[in-house]
Structure 1
């Protein structure tokens, strides 16, 4: 990949950029109010506040680092193969996030490198000129990699103006997002043209970036296929599965569910249990995407009159699991355990129009996937998984609250052990055959 020269960068749209900056200054107090509101659940939201403004760095600054921005949990995990490769080469990494959970995930994944001083973690400052300017002057990275969908105008245009190469890596762009960008005309297109290059996940994504006038686009695949599953969590999950199968129970994981989806899933689960179609009633493992919603979802399960326990209440599968209808997965970083323990996963974000969540980790664990209609954020991955038999689409939309299609899809798979086995093998093969994005990205960036 050739780095775009300064003259080829998209020009900063001055009028719209001025409006954007004005809005940011007006909304800045609300950003801090939001942090304070979230601090009700964790006081850590109020830590490192100066970093949000591009100041307050209390450790020696490492110049000439490779800057990798991973906004939250999913992006941080996806960046792991790249970060590991650069660390092995002796590079130092500036790792930035926007969310508390993203920062926590990075700290967990790269604890040794952080302790050794190879990785420096900070928050990306709010997208105000003076915040971004001080951040860039403080750290002076060699080049920057923004993961997946992040494109902050102030950061992107300023990096272009100072000839700091900034790449959009593992990039994806849904048709819906592309349409929204085009509504801003030249201003929207200029933002993505200002990247030094775009390394896209799929041909779909690459075509959409090219439609915005981005010239330097390569298709390198999806980094998430290269993210290794924690072997200890996988082993623990297999122990859970062994204990459940000893009682002839199957377990369904509803993973990364979003607001509104839990109610649909719980209603469907009650209907499934009332059908008396199983020799031993299956168990639901419900894992909300956002930790701040754990208490809210617990109340929903209680209101549905289903017997449940929280994952946080025990270290292993509860001895009284035979009397449970639901386990609430209120823990962080344990998805490999949950997938490895489950016989089927219902992928959150796909039942209602949220665009779906990443199904790759479930496939890597050999867990068959059941998808709703709304998978536009992971279009190619969903189509490929369905095509090879690793995933199935629910036969009907639950958008209007009718869960009949969900119940029937669950029942047809859970009662067909040979189909589940075939899907499990297809899922493993699918995840292995799509690996290699990290090597292609690494080579392209070099």
Structure 2
């Protein structure tokens, strides 16, 4: 009874903030038009399903991947589900426009994958969603524990699985501030496939049952032939110059990196590639680079010409090409880690054998980061100055760089297999 009361209060808060959420969508749509599209879906309204389509099996397996990282991580899982359950269609939902665009890029040619935005977490909207699609199974990626969603799935007898689950100590502390609400939600999950033993223990502490350690799905993500080709072509355009990639940088980090670059002795012929985490910041970062009077070229206008020797910085203002950027680079710094933002995942860099540098703040990916450091695939740096100094050492010391690259490849290979373990876990619900 107490849990229902808390969930009612939680729903009331959602109804109060929905007008603000819609205004925010419209505001973000100035730079990312995708946020102004499919807005009715966020409120639980969907176009009729053409159930007469011969290429669209009527039974849905629903995978929720909130944004870009979760969608990429879901790729091997979705591919294995498509192969193993041919009488089912995959319903892939998101919350961000970039996540939906990533899903379109990965699965747009598949007739058995349809996409939608997930509605806001009110019982009424989620109920409309469930009645419309009638999914056989709900698969939530990583951290998506939504109280009304899980409660409504229970009401409509849709089993819920949380896969590739991760829960930091910080997130657990936040969840415990709403113990009644979050414990009810966690206990409503049918099974959990956790990335690590620490994640599994925290999920149990939150209230989840039937928790299994399945590993990290991102180790099973491999670059497509298209991205490998793009990377090779880009490398030919760049030539033999040393390349330092700063991947998935967050607000404030680019300024730290550029300031350090300006204050240190130059690295001969260095090309610095900066790929901001969020596309709405492309213009902001371009202006920042220009303020340092560094000759810059955007990836979006590179074309097929050779990159001029005068260009010092390339702005990675393209979507879905991160594997290509990692393939181009000699050393990669993973953003979100110079400032207390929790870091980003280094697995994609390791998968293509790129040595990794990572900042001090990696609490969102603590286990995999420490494992990569222990394996000799990554090095921890304390700040931007140390990062550039370490990058210079690796760029001029070929043997150390190659050894780190091999360690990275071995590390990624060692941890593969999470997809098969996850599908075996889900089989018990199907």
User: TM-score surpassing 0.5?
Assistant: yes
Provide the rounded CA distance (Å) in 1 between the counterparts of 2:141 and 2:2.
Answer: 22
The 8 Å contact of residues 69 and 97 in structure 1, kept in 2 or not, is answered as: yes
1:81 matched to 2:76? The reply is yes
* Equivalent residue, structure 1, for 2:291: 303
* Equivalent residue, structure 1, for 2:419: 438
The 8 Å contact of residues 354 and 405 in structure 2, kept in 1 or not, is answered as: yes
Q: Matched residue of 1:71: which SS?
A: coil
1:107 matched to 2:95? The reply is no
1:327 matched to 2:314? The reply is yes
Equivalent residue in structure 2 for 1:259, among 251, 254, 272:
251
The 8 Å contact of residues 173 and 205 in structure 1, kept in 2 or not, is answered as: yes
The 8 Å contact of residues 2 and 180 in structure 2, kept in 1 or not, is answered as: no
Equivalent residue in structure 1 for 2:272, among 280, 284, 287:
284
**Change over 3 Å in CA distance of 1:407–1:112 after alignment to 2:** closer
* Equivalent residue, structure 2, for 1:196: 190
The 8 Å contact of residues 160 and 189 in structure 2, kept in 1 or not, is answered as: yes
* Equivalent residue, structure 2, for 1:422: 403
Show the 5 A alignment for 1:157-306. Answer: 157-242=151-236, 244=238, 246=240, 249-272=241-264, 275-276=265-266, 278=267, 280-306=268-294
1:141 matched to 2:135? The reply is yes
Shift of 1:261: 0.6
Equivalent residue in structure 2 for 1:381, among 365, 368, 387:
368
The 8 Å contact of residues 67 and 144 in structure 1, kept in 2 or not, is answered as: yes
The 8 Å contact of residues 12 and 190 in structure 1, kept in 2 or not, is answered as: no
Provide the rounded CA distance (Å) in 2 between the counterparts of 1:319 and 1:85.
Answer: 40
Provide the rounded CA distance (Å) in 1 between the counterparts of 2:92 and 2:385.
Answer: 45
Shift of 1:320: 4.2
* Equivalent residue, structure 2, for 1:412: 393
Q: Matched residue of 2:309: which SS?
A: helix
* Equivalent residue, structure 2, for 1:25: 15
Provide the rounded CA distance (Å) in 2 between the counterparts of 1:352 and 1:42.
Answer: 25
* Equivalent residue, structure 1, for 2:54: none
Deviations 1:360-419 (A, max 9, x none): 11111111100001111111110111011110000x2x3xxxx43233222322232211
TM-score (norm 2): 0.94
Q: Matched residue of 1:300: which SS?
A: helix
Shift of 1:239: 4.0
* Equivalent residue, structure 1, for 2:89: 92
The 8 Å contact of residues 237 and 307 in structure 2, kept in 1 or not, is answered as: no
Provide the rounded CA distance (Å) in 2 between the counterparts of 1:39 and 1:184.
Answer: 32
Aligned residue pair count = 420
Provide the rounded CA distance (Å) in 1 between the counterparts of 2:407 and 2:93.
Answer: 36
Q: CA RMSD in A?
A: 1.6
* Equivalent residue, structure 2, for 1:8: none
Task: Specify every segment of 5 or more residues in structure 1 that has no aligned partner in the other structure, as ranges.
Answer: 1-10
* Equivalent residue, structure 2, for 1:49: 39
Shift of 1:314: 1.9
Deviations 1:295-352 (A, max 9, x none): 0000000011111000001234x52431011000000011111100100011001111
Deviations 1:54-111 (A, max 9, x none): 1132432564311111111111111111111121231211111111111111111112
Shift of 1:232: 2.6
Q: Matched residue of 1:141: which SS?
A: coil
